[in-house]
Amino acid sequence: MHFASLTVDPAFRVGEVDPRLYGSFVEHLGRCVYEGIHEPGHPDADQHGFRRDVAALTRELGVPIVRYPGGNFVSGYHWEDGIGPVAERPTRIDLAWRTIEPNQVGVDEFQRWADSVGAATMMAVNLGTRGIDAARGLVEYCNHPSGTSWSDRRRANGAADPYAIKVWCLGNEMDGPWQIGHKTAVDYGRLAAETGKAMRLVDPSIELVACGSSSRAMPTFGSWEATVLAETYEVADYVSMHAYYQERDGDRDSFLASAVDMDAFIDAVVATADHVRAVGRHRKRINISFDEWNVWYQSRFAGERNLSIQRTPRLIEDVYSVTDAVVVGNLLISLLRHADRVKIACQAQLVNVIGLIMTEPGGPAWRQSSYHPFALTSRHGRGTVLRVEPNSPVYETAIHGPVPVLDAVAVQSPDGVVLFAVNRDQRQELTLDVDLRALPSLTVADHVALFDDDPDAVNDATDPDRVTPRRLDPPKVDGAGVQAVLPPLSWNMIRLTTAP
C-alpha cells in the first residue's frame, strides 16, 4: 500500500471555477448530430426530431455550453444552408469528414436544442473557405434584434428574440494541413483580427476565441500562438487549446499520467500569451478556451482521406474502459488546477463520436464509463479551486519520467470542500491523509470512487451500467483531518461538509 498526504487550506486559492469549464462539443461528424442528438422517428423523439433520452442525459451532465458546428466541419460550412424551410435546404458533401450533409439541423434547430438542455451555444465561424462577410452575417442573424435583412430572416424562421450567443470561435485548427483553407499563422491572424473586428461591430458584447495550435505536438506550436496573438491580441479574449490522449503500445503507466502533459501544455500557452502581452504592452490578459479535449484512440482511425463518401457513417466511436474514465477524470483535475486561466473547456464530443453518451438508431442511449467522472465533477466542482500540493510517492513512466502516484485538487463552496483525486497505481491501494486544520468545521465525509477489478471493463448497449461509481465506506473526520483509502487505478471524489 502507498501512503500520501495533502493539505486543504482556503489560503491556497487558485481561482473561481467558470461553469463553462464543463462544456461539451457537438460537430457535424459521424453520428454526433444525426442519430445522436437528432433522430426523427425515434420512439423517444420530440416534435422537432431530437431524442429526449439524449437530452435528459445531457441535462444530467450539467453542460453549461456546447461548441457548434465544428471542428473541421466548420471550415467548409455555409451556415445559410441550414436555415429556412427544411425541405428546401441543399444537401452538400462535407469535405472534412467525407460525409453527406443533409442540413436538417442548422443554427435554429441547434439553438432550440441547446435551450432545451440548459446550455449556451459556443458558435464557430468558417475562416477556412469563407471569412469576414459570412461571419458578420451570422452574428447579425443570431444576435441582432430586428430591422435588418439577417435578423428579420431569423424572425421569419420562427425566432422572434435574438439568440444572444456570447462566445464565438474564429475558425478551427487553422494551423493544421488537414484543415480546409489551412493558413499560415500570419495569414490566419490577420484574417481573424479583421473578422473579429467586424463581428464585434455588429455585437460589441461578444467574446472571441482565436485559434491556438491544434496540439502541442505540432511543429509550429508556440510560434503559432505568439504570431497569432500578436495579430489578434486586441480583439481576442481567449486562445484555444486542443489535446487528445490514448494508451500506446500497452504503456498504461504513461497513459495514466496524461494530465502531466496537459499541465505542461497549459503552462506553455499561458507563458506565451503573457509574453505577447508584455511585448505589446497590453493591459488585458488572454485566457484559455480548451475547447477540444478527451481520450481518443486516433491510431485506430483510418484517417478522413481514406473514407468513402457516406451518409451518417459510424466514425470515431471509441468505447471507453475504466482506465480511460480515470484518465478523463484526471484531465478534469488538470483543468480545475488552472481555473485562474482556463475559463472555457469543451469535452469532445458529446454523443457517439468519442462521446460521453452512446446511442443506437431506434434504440437506447447510455452513459459511457467516462460520463461518470465528468458528470460528478460538473455537479460538485463549482466554487473556488484550492491548490493542495500532494506529498506522494512517484513511479517511473516511459513518456513523462517520474510521476506522482496521487494527483488531486480541491474545490471549496458554501457547502464545504470537494476533493477530486486519482490513484494512478494499477496494483496498490493508496492511503491518503488530508490535513483539515484550516477548516475545523468540516466533520462529515462521503467517498465515491470509479474503479473496477477489470480495468478494461466498458459500458455497452447490452450492459449499460457495467461501470458506475461506487459509494465507499465514509472516511472518518476528526476535526484535524480525514483519512481515505483510494483503490488501485481509481478516480475519487471525497466530499467534506459540516454536520447538518
pLDDT digits 0-9 by tens, 107-152:
999 999 999 999 999 999 999 999 999 999 999 999 999 999 999 9
Q: How far is 399 from 251, CA to CA, in rounded Å?
A: 9
| Burial group, residue 339, by CB count within 10 angstroms (0-12, 13-18, 19+) | buried
Percentage of the chain lying above the pLDDT 90 cut: 95
Residue 292, H or E segment: strand 287-295
Determine whether 292 is an active site residue: yes
Pairing of strands 99-101, 384-386: unpaired
**Virtual torsion, Cα 229, 232, 237, 241, nearest 10 deg:** -40
Q: How far is 295 from 306, CA to CA, in rounded Å?
A: 22
Q: How far is CA 266 from the centre of its chain?
A: 14
User: CA-based diameter of the chain, in Å?
Assistant: 69
pLDDT at 227 over 80: yes
Q: How far is 212 from 224, CA to CA, in rounded Å?
A: 7
Nearest to 2 by CA among 331, 390, 262: 390
pLDDT at 422 over 80: yes
- 1 falls in which pLDDT band (50, 70, 90)? confident
Determine whether 173 is an active site residue: yes
Pairing of strands 394-397, 23-25: unpaired
Which tens digits make up the pLDDT trace of 2-35?
A: 999 999 999 999 999 999 999 999 999 999 999 9
Q: Which of 173, 225, 231, 247 is catalytic?
A: 173
Grid coordinates representing 271? 507563458
Beta partners for residue 411, in sequence order: 385, 418
Q: How far is 285 from 170, CA to CA, in rounded Å?
A: 18
Q: How far is 262 from 279, CA to CA, in rounded Å?
A: 26
Q: What's the chain's average pLDDT?
A: 97
Question: Whats the size of the chain, residue-wise?
Answer: 500
- 500 falls in which pLDDT band (50, 70, 90)? low
Grid coordinates representing 194? 479583421
Give me the phi and psi of 297, to 5 degrees please.
Answer: -85, 75
In the β-sheet with 2-7, what is the strand arrangement from edge to edge? Answer: 2-7, 430-435, 481-486
Contact 224, 263 (CB under 8 A): no
Q: Cis check for the bond before 71: say yes or no (omega within 30 of 0).
A: yes
Q: Which of 39, 101, 140, 292 is catalytic?
A: 292
Q: What is the DSSP letter of 302?
A: -
Contact 352, 317 (CB under 8 A): yes
Grid coordinates representing 469? 461509481
Residue-level pLDDT at 439? 93
One-letter amino acid at 394 equals: V
Q: How far is 164 from 162, CA to CA, in rounded Å?
A: 5
Nearest to 237 by CA among 132, 334, 341: 341
pTM of the model: 0.97
